[in-house]
Amino acid sequence: MIMDKISLILVIIGALNWGSVGIFGFDLVSWICGGPDSMIARVIFTLVGLAGVWCISLLFREREVYRESE
């Protein structure tokens, strides 16, 4: 599902950003967008948060197994 892939990409971006904040004290998203209070940064942070909520559903879904027909 395309929504799953987009959400995972956003969650990975968020995780890498939080990693850079934790290790280096540098918020890359805020730096690119002009500060943590800029509208663009807030939109990105909101999208990453919503993607994280969406990814919670991945924990509770049955995994579909695709097999090639012989």
For residues 52 and 11, the answer to whether their CB atoms sit within 8 Å is yes
Q: What's the pLDDT score for residue 15?
A: 96
Q: Where are the domains of the chain?
A: 2-56
Q: What's the pLDDT score for residue 65?
A: 62
- Residue 37 DSSP SS3: coil
Q: Which two tokens stand for residue 16?
A: 């890498």
Q: What's the pLDDT score for residue 68?
A: 64
Q: Tens place of pLDDT for every residue, the chain, 70 residues?
A: 899 999 999 999 999 999 999 999 999 999 999 998 999 999 999 999 999 999 999 888 887 766 666 5
Q: What's the pLDDT score for residue 61?
A: 87
